[in-house]
Chain A
């Protein structure tokens, strides 16, 4: 038997091999799709990032041109800054909102199913439609929000026309997606044994102390997931900004919101690729985005070691 020593070398028993052969047809679609629609595009865009390419004709070698141009491109830095600013606001606020909703829903309220439905529903509504609704809600001339502010004698805000408020508007819009995470937190809260709270109450711990000492540590793994996933979603923010700024109607020359305040990273990447036909530069931006997303995920993971508790029940 010649095969026997080879099997030993790969530590594959005959059963292993048979199972591998059986499983392969099942996972083959994923392997093919992953290679064709994920791995290959990533590698291909790395190649494109070192070329000048308009999308037509051939790509010509460009060395590090696209990357050196990026460093000197003020709009690149503005788009990165806008995106990080938005993410740094929307994600932590989102976590707090979701936890707050979950805690309120966990208070033995009989009609909890109604709240669950109401909080979750907006998160499955198409984002472009929610953005249209926000345009009407936040309109300074006839919008509901400024009307309510006026009732309370708060000066009206030009939500979508004032560069200071445009990103805040999208942070608010993003909170409509808090229902999903809130349900996940609620599931986490329900898994906390009530005896823990009762014991803590007997020892004289108040509600705040019970939250920080019992609830919070137990839901830290969910918080970690929400932070990472939210951050990855945050840095790809595109649709609301695109819809708010009128999208394709203005051609390539328009600014993305007042003072380019809604020029998010992916929006600028999109403009470079599909409005300025600079696919090489856009590919370089795509690669930098890839690296940023990995770095952010790793950074949050590292940081989480300081506060996530895994040794749970």
Chain B
């Protein structure tokens, strides 16, 4: 991918670089065969949920409850998707999910490069100690905070608004700070020096020199933030109690509130939730893989 080279040059990411193919050995063939059988079996297991979700989404209730289950919908019920989005206020939930995801993603895109810049391109006393605190906070379980946060947000009258979920995103996320910092550390110092000599202040260096180079890393942050926000469950469950404010994660519970659970509609709705994530992944696979392997260096 055209944008990748910058990322690959940073020393921390070099680890994921593939070595050139190993010399072909004669005993190689059976070994890869064994590996392939295992890999294909594992693939089947990892993709089974997608298959079964889609398969169930297209069945009518009668066929869905049959045993043995049918391996493909014999009477495809495409109208399940229409019924799924009318059975619950799907449009409202979808809009809320989009607003939440958009807000969190914008916050992440603005805050994390800025903060990471301060932890990488400027050398100030105590920097690495403070950055140690940033890293340590990755390991703090969020549920430790939920009772106090709820009370704080309640006193701010933020309950039933998107603020408790969106606002914190504007103050950085330790993992994204780490990710951006790794990238910034890989850029040569001279490019900043030259701009400083030309009279640019630090913020101008950040905005006009470093940020344009950081687009691939920002893309990784944006993609991860979006996927995370889209699937966020606990925070909306706590901070949004008005049904009109529910995102899809909470709203989908409604399929199960009646006596009969409309599993086929639930699966159709799940398909609609999963689809954008799959599309995003297929479009930006490279960024996902790179984002994951940056984390590897931390170990």
- A-side residues, CB < 8 A to B, are 11-12, 16, 19-20, 22-27, 29-30, 32-34, 36-38, 40-42, 44-45, 48, 55, 100-101, 104-105, 107-109, 114-122, 124-130, 132-137, 139, 141-144, 147, 150, 176, 179-180, 183-184, 187-188, 190-191, 194, 221-226, 228-229, 232, 235-236, 238-239, 242-243, 246-249, 266, 269-270, 273-274, 279, 282-283, 286-287, 289-290, 293, 297
**Is B114 positioned at the interface, with any CB of A under 8 Å from its CB?**
yes
* Cα distance, A229 to B135, chains bound together (Å): 12
Interface size in chain B (residues, C-beta < 8 A):
100
B258 to chain A, nearest CB (A): 10
Q: Is the CB of A228 within 8 A of B139?
A: yes
- CB-contact partner of B148 in A44, A143, A235, A274, under 8 A: A44
Inter-subunit contact A19/B145 (CB<8 Å): no
Give Cα A187–Cα B43 distance, bound, in whole angstroms.
Answer: 19
Q: CA A273 – CA B151 in complex, angstroms?
A: 10
Contact A119 B49 (CB under 8 A): no
Chain B residue at smallest Cβ distance from A250: B257
Chain B residue nearest to A37 (CB atoms) is: B168
Which residues on the B side are within 8 Å of A130 (C-beta)? 49
The listed residue (A105, A125, A283) touching B147 by CB distance below 8 A is A283
- Kindly list chain B residues whose C-beta atoms are within 8 Å of the C-beta of A23: 118, 122, 124, 127
B299 contacts A226, CB within 8 Å?
yes
B267 at the interface (CB under 8 A from A): yes
Main secondary structure of the interface of A (DSSP, over half): helix
For B238, the chain A residues whose CB sits under 8 A away are 274
On chain A, the residues within 8 Å of B69 by CB distance are 142-144, 147
Q: Whole-angstrom distance from the CB of B22 to the nearest CB of chain A?
A: 6
Minimum CB–CB distance from A105 to chain B (whole Å) comes to 7
**Nearest CB of A to B216, in Å:** 18
Chain B, Cβ-Cβ closest to A184: B296
Interface string of B139-162 (1 = CB under 8 A from A): 111111111111110100000000
Stretch at the interface among B1-9, B78-86, B88-96, B285-293: B285-293
| Chain B residues in 8 Å Cβ range of A125 | 49, 231, 274, 277-278
> In the complex, A289 Cα to B144 Cα: how many Å?
6
Q: CA of A184 to CA of B266 in the docked complex: distance in angstroms?
A: 34
